[in-house]
């Protein structure tokens, strides 16, 4: 530990440097890895010991993104066996999935120069087809078990959002939608409950997906929040019997398309008045008042507002404690899908073009599995007290009275 103490002492002398905290974090994590490896080897560096099990074999570079910035780490390698630091385990599944996708593209004969560069950069040249198959099977088993798990209890709120990816199909490159479903149960917890790949415009696509969720046990859905995909609204009413909330952020974007760009800020300020009201009645009154004000100047915007009033204000009919998390699928600080979709896109952009649907499910499913595990360790996403308003009467606790005196 003397060398480690000296390393920290050197850093403390540089406390004025801008990267001080990042350097300290790198040094501390490096010290932790060195200590782990010593325990695994059974001996310290250059130490002679009868209990030594193996020897060091250099390092491999690895980066770790943190709030302090990107940390540059050197992971020790062993001659026999392997070592992987426990603080990086959470990223391991999705990164293995990413590797598997790239390998599959290579083996399937659909590689491009970009995929070739990725393979070489990740040190994957020369890996056999059987090794790739084994890696894929291991990930597929875990991902499929997660995506097909039974869903228990009541799930009043369901969010659906589409991320568009490129996939090779029959010699062509097509755009497909990866639909991610997130639900909140009556205990106020949120979970990722589904992933579906296909053409999001088709009603049959949405109906099939929602039926699959119901078959796995998703019930008690009162409100579905999504963008205005063709066929989705009808599928929600038919399959779920639930109310549809049109994503407010997407709605605002569509509404402002009817207004000259120079007037966007003025129009947006007026449109927001309806969303600032305390209850549903006041919100609808303000909405119609703004639509009437816009009618002479921007008649197409007013017509759009007339047609979409009930869809964009649907969330106002639900408990006030929940509304800030119900009106949109995007751009809200506590939204369940915004940061998740960013991470999905970040991983997918590395691949570029997926060789098939299975590779999409493998990579995106691994990301969803890790995120869902993280959510389960966090506090409740929604206030549980207000959930009682959404339960059927028979679910409410029975009230009993003492017998009358004779």
For residue 313, with 0-12 CB atoms within 10 Å meaning exposed, 13-18 middle and 19 or more buried, which class applies? Answer: buried
Residue among 69, 35, 37, 245 nearest 161 (CA): 245
Residue among 382, 379, 371 nearest 193 (CA): 371
Q: What is the pLDDT of residue 225?
A: 92
pLDDT tens digits for range 342-394: 888 888 887 888 888 998 999 899 889 988 988 888 888 888 888 888 876 54
Q: What is the pLDDT of residue 332?
A: 41
Q: What is the pLDDT of residue 106?
A: 53
Residue among 297, 292, 300, 250 nearest 273 (CA): 292
Q: What is the pLDDT of residue 401?
A: 41
Look at the pTM and tell me if it is higher than 0.85: no
With a cut of 50, list the residues of the chain below it in pLDDT.
Answer: 1-2, 5, 8, 11-12, 14-18, 110-111, 331-334, 394-402, 404-406
Report in angstroms the alpha-carbon separations of 206 from 313, 332, 340.
22, 25, 21
Helices then strands, counting H and E runs in the chain, come out as 13, 8
Quote the CA–CA distance of 54 and 57 in Å, as a whole number: 9
Distance of CA 7 to the CA centre of its chain: 38
For residue 188, with 0-12 CB atoms within 10 Å meaning exposed, 13-18 middle and 19 or more buried, which class applies? Answer: middle
Structure tokens at 8: 């920290």
């Amino acid at each position: 530990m003397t060398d480690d103490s000296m390393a920290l002492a050197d850093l403390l002398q540089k406390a004025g440097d801008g990267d001080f905290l990042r350097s300290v974090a790198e040094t501390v994590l490096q010290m932790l890895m060195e200590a782990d490896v010593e325990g695994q080897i059974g001996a310290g560096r250059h130490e002679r010991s009868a209990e030594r099990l193996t020897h060091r074999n250099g390092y491999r570079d690895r980066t770790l993104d943190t709030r302090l910035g990107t940390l540059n780490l050197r992971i020790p390698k062993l001659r026999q066996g392997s070592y992987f630091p426990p603080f990086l385990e959470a990223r391991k599944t999705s990164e293995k999935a990413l590797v598997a996708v790239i390998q599959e593209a290579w083996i399937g004969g659909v590689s491009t120069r970009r995929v070739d560069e990725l393979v070489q950069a990740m040190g994957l040249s020369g890996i056999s087809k059987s090794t790739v198959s084994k890696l894929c099977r291991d990930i597929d088993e875990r991902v499929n078990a997660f995506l097909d798990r039974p869903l228990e209890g009541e799930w009043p709120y369901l969010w659906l959002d589409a991320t568009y990816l490129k996939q090779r199909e029959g010699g062509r490159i097509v755009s497909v939608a990866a639909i991610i479903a997130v639900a909140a149960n009556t205990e106020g917890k949120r979970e990722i409950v589904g992933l579906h790949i296909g053409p999001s415009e088709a009603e049959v696509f949405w109906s099939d997906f929602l039926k699959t969720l119901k078959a796995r046990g998703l019930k008690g859905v009162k409100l579905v929040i999504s963008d205005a995909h063709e066929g989705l609204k009808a599928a929600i009413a038919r399959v779920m019997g639930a109310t549809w909330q049109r994503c407010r952020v997407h709605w605002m974007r569509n509404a402002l398309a009817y207004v000259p760009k120079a007037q966007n800020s003025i129009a947006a300020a007026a449109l927001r008045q309806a969303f600032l009201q305390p209850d549903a009645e006041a919100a609808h009154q303000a909405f119609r008042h703004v639509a009437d004000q816009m009618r002479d100047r921007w008649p197409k915007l007013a017509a759009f507002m007339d047609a979409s009033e009930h869809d964009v204000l649907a969330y106002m009919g639900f408990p006030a404690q929940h509304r800030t998390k119900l009106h949109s699928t995007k751009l809200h600080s506590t939204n369940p899908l915004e940061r998740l979709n960013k991470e999905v896109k970040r991983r997918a952009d590395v691949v570029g073009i997926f060789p098939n649907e299975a590779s999409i499910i493998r990579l995106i499913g691994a990301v969803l599995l890790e995120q869902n595990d993280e959510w389960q360790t966090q506090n409740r996403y929604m206030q549980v007290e207000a959930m009682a308003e959404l339960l059927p009467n028979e679910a409410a606790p029975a009230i009993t009275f003492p017998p009358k005196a004779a």
